[in-house]
């Protein structure tokens, strides 16, 4: 049955970098204690988790400076493979590992900074400020440091440590989200177990309201899909975004009550949000292909933030890349609203009515309502979902 699944990106089989053999992993952990070590940044730790999970197949580790610039400029690795975002281990100060050929990478997001991976060092290189800016401008489309992705990139340091890695754990994701965190391999196995042949993937860093729910159902219908993987980001977000455990609870409730049995699975992946709009949408497509999805839903303002990208830039970019760059298909969603005349959630492009007939609520307006203890209209949010979110907003956590 394995050969029926969509091929991973850039290879015939998935190549996760997690050391699954217990004895081998114990041996490497013992070795790691004697190696020169460095605490990496949160994004590098998340990159290690994505490499461990098979999501970044077929990469073997962290890119060097020259390859990072090539990926930023041409969306190609040194081997010519299509890749939209540099996958790097960048630090402020590499003096603790200077001259070492093999080093231990320590996790900044877990108490005590345990070793997350061992890296064979190919090079330690210092980028110029111009090179850092070039990468930022190509990946994020802006140099504005109010952009959370740019701010993170420009503050992380300029020292690139490149080379293959062996990953020894999945950071905090497997302990904090045991029911939700899944590797690409596990999702492929789940797709096979469910006997799904066509699978849509829905990316989310937010709770899902009725428009999102309908978008998934519309995509499934259009693609003739028998399954949907709702795949939520579990890593670091910007201030004001809803924590993963609250999103998880609200999405699970929606799937439980409003999707047909065995048609949707709620899962998550360990990555820090880049907010890179179009480039991040391409990365999303790669790792959804690696996990076995046949179609990625790209919605309005996919992976965007603020006004840095046009509402459909993350869809248009798929028309600009080489035709053979990806195997996965793309479902392009329009703005989805409640239409009073249709008495249904509709895509604006498919509806003959005008904006006067639409119920449109901004995320800000909904957050306001929820924090005031008001329930958003049933046309916008399922009441069971609204209750979970409302309880969060009125709690001490929601007021932080």
Distances (CA, A) of 243 to 37, 175, 251, 353, 388: 31, 16, 12, 36, 12
Identify the burial level of 46 via C-beta atoms within 10 angstroms of its C-beta, where 0-12 means exposed, 13-18 middle and 19 or more buried.
buried
> Which residue bears the tokens 């309005």?
300
Task: Let me know the angle formed at the C-alpha of 249 by 248 and 253, rounded to the nearest 5 degrees.
Answer: 115
Q: Can you say how many angstroms the Cα of residue 212 is from the centroid of all Cα atoms in its chain?
A: 17
182 is catalytic: no
CA distance 89 to 66: 14
> Half-sphere exposure of residue 175, counting CA atoms within 13 Å on the CB side?
7
CA distance 87 to 71: 9
Which of the following is catalytic: 102, 158, 206, 252? 206
Give the number of residues written for the chain.
Answer: 400
102 is catalytic: no
Task: Let me know the angle formed at the C-alpha of 199 by 383 and 295, rounded to the nearest 5 degrees.
Answer: 100
Helices 129-140, 278-290: inter-axial angle, 10-degree rounding: 70
Structural contact between residues 217 and 313, judged by C-beta atoms closer than 8 angstroms: no
Which of the following is catalytic: 47, 109, 188, 205? 205
Q: Report, as residue numbers or ranges, the catalytic residues.
A: 205-206
């Amino acid at each position: 049955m394995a050969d029926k699944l969509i091929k991973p990106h850039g290879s015939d089989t998935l190549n996760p970098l997690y050391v699954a053999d217990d004895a081998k992993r114990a041996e490497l952990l013992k070795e790691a204690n004697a190696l020169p070590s460095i605490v990496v940044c949160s994004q590098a730790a998340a990159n290690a988790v994505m490499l461990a999970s098979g999501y970044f197949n077929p990469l073997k580790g962290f890119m060097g400076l020259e390859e990072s610039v090539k990926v930023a400029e041409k969306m190609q690795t040194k081997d010519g493979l299509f890749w939209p975002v540099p996958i790097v281990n960048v630090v402020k100060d590499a003096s603790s590992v200077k001259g070492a050929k093999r080093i231990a990478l320590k996790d900044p997001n877990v108490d005590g900074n345990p070793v997350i991976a061992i890296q064979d060092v190919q090079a330690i290189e210092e980028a110029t400020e111009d090179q850092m800016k070039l990468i930022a401008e190509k990946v994020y489309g802006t140099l504005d440091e109010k952009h959370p992705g740019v701010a993170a990139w420009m503050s992380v340091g300029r020292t690139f440590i490149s080379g293959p890695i062996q990953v020894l754990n999945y950071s905090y994701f497997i302990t904090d989200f045991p029911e939700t965190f899944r590797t690409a391999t596990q999702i492929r196995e789940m797709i096979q177990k469910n006997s799904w042949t066509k699978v849509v993937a829905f990316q989310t860093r937010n709770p899902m309201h009725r428009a999102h729910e309908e978008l998934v159902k519309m995509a499934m219908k259009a693609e003739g899909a028998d399954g949907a993987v709702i795949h939520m980001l579990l890593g670091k977000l910007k201030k004001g975004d809803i924590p993963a455990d609250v999103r998880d609870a609200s999405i699970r409730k929606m799937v439980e009550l409003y999707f047909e049995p065995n048609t949707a699975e709620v899962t998550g992946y360990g990555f820090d949000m880049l907010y890179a709009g179009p480039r991040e949408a391409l990365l999303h497509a790669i790792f959804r292909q690696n996990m076995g999805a046949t179609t990625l839903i790209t919605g309005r303002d996919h992976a965007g933030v603020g006004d840095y990208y046009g509402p459909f830039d993350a869809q248009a970019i798929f028309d600009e890349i080489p035709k053979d760059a990806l195997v996965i298909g793309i479902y392009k969603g329009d703005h989805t609203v409640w239409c009073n005349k249709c008495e249904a959630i509709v895509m604006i492009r498919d509806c003959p009515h005008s904006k006067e007939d639409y119920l449109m609520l901004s995320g800000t307006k909904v957050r306001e309502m929820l924090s005031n203890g008001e329930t958003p209209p049933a046309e916008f949010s399922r009441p069971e979902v609204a209750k979970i979110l409302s309880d969060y907003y009125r709690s001490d956590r929601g007021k932080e």
